[in-house]
Structure 1
Amino acid sequence: MSATCGQQALGDVDLDAPDAILRLNLHPAIRAVQAALPRMRANGQLTVGIAERTAFMRPQRGLVSFARTWALELAQTGITVNAVAPGPTEPNCEGEYQYLTGVPMHRLGRPDEIAAAIQFLLSEDAGFITGQTLFVYCGASIGKALL
């Protein structure tokens, strides 16, 4: 299973996969925040990226929860905390055709589009946004495309 875009139906989820995905997605987020916290206090912002798939739901919800909890905890310091939920990006992703049938824009994202969302959340223009998750995947978060 690919850690970035592999898909597993609920009935087929390898129970070792969620633990590996938690280690891949949640543990580094905690370590990164702990390491960056002294600088964050000075700069006031953090963005965490996440992905959404059946096997990724637990870490996704974990990262969304982290963003909300950390936003509350750090609000008095002026630090804003937000999450970015990126979709699959070019050039190719396992299960690409199946994924694109449910995407209103019928395309994969580009890494620079994900980076632009993160860059915005790190900018002073986003200083009034905290505890939010920005879903950056061509409309997939709003439901299936009309066929």
Structure 2
Amino acid sequence: MARTFLVTGASKGIGLALAHRLTRDGHKVVGLARGANAEFPGTLVPVDLADTRATDAVLADLTGRFSFDGVVNNVGLVRPQRLGSVDLTALEDVMRVNLHPALQAVQALLPGMTERGWGRIVNISSLTVLGAVERTAYAAAKAALVSFSRSWALELATTGITVNAVSPGPTETELFRANNQPGSEGEGRYLSAVPMRRFGRPEEIAAAIAFLLSEDAGFITGQTLHVDGGASVGKAGF
């Protein structure tokens, strides 16, 4: 059955890969992103998701035009800082971008999904929630998304709406590479922690998200799926 999904942070990386995956599967995708992308396979709406009022206005317009069956809260912001250098402005920026649009999107789509008795919410977390240097703000925000998922899953358990999180490991996206250049110490540190000895591809993360959005995932809720090449398990013995 064809569905309509909203994806935030949809113009590149995992969001764009997911939009292509869902479109190939016969679904309609509406994306929210600050930048444009001519390769986007659905409806891409420009909006600065850090702007609460602008985000609310766009969501109000879209929910009047589309009957959404689910949302993927994928937008993210990283501000790497060592503990002694973390400033409150950066902390607030990271929290706002990672968390506020997720809550706004779910609140906007919830009445329609509840009325139809079917819905899917997937929050994109991160392997960094298990601990990462220079990620005080980002890891905290992504951990909050896991907490959101568990709390919302309980609240919505009898509504036909499932809520889950996907926690990617190091993935070859623009955001990751902006903070971990090829050959850098950061790249080496992340790669050494992945038992598979490689980074994930956006398409691989998208496949996991697409499953949680599917009919087949109807009895899965409140869970966090780690898609990380084994990094959340531990280091391989070699």
User: 1 CA distance for matches of 2:236 and 2:86?
Assistant: 25
Q: For the pair shown, which has the larger CA radius of gyration, 1 or 2?
A: 2
**Long gaps (5+) in structure 1:** none
Q: How many correspondences in the alignment?
A: 145
Match of 1:49 among 99, 124, 132: 124
When you count helix as a share of all residues, which structure comes out higher? 1
Q: Classify 1:104/1:9 alpha carbon distance in 2 versus 1 (closer, same or farther; 3 Å).
A: farther
Report the AA paired with residue 123 of structure 2: V
User: 1 CA distance for matches of 2:84 and 2:195?
Assistant: 26
2:218 aligned partner: 127
Report the AA paired with residue 28 of structure 1: P
Residue 174 of structure 2 is aligned to residue 101 of structure 1: no
Report the AA paired with residue 18 of structure 1: L
Match of 2:108 among 35, 41, 44: 35
**Long gaps (5+) in structure 2:** 1-75, 181-185
Contact 2:125–2:143 (Cα < 8 Å) also in 1? no
* Root-mean-square deviation (Å): 2.2
* 1:47-86 map, 5 Å: 47-51=122-126, 52=128, 53=132, 54-55=135-136, 56-86=138-168
Shift of 1:65: 0.8
Report the AA paired with residue 122 of structure 2: T
Shift of 1:129: 0.4
User: 2 CA distance for matches of 1:19 and 1:145?
Assistant: 36
Given the two structures, how large is their TM-score scaled by the length of structure 1? Answer: 0.85
User: Residue by residue, what CA displacement relative to the aligned partner does 1:68-116 show, whole Å, maximum 9, x if unpaired?
Assistant: 1000111121211001112232266212221001111111111111111
**Higher RCO (CA < 8 A, seq sep 6+):** 1
**SS in structure 2 at match of 1:76:** coil
2:29 aligned partner: none
User: 1 CA distance for matches of 2:121 and 2:102?
Assistant: 10
Q: Classify 1:44/1:87 alpha carbon distance in 2 versus 1 (closer, same or farther; 3 Å).
A: same
Given the two structures, how large is their TM-score scaled by the length of structure 2? Answer: 0.55
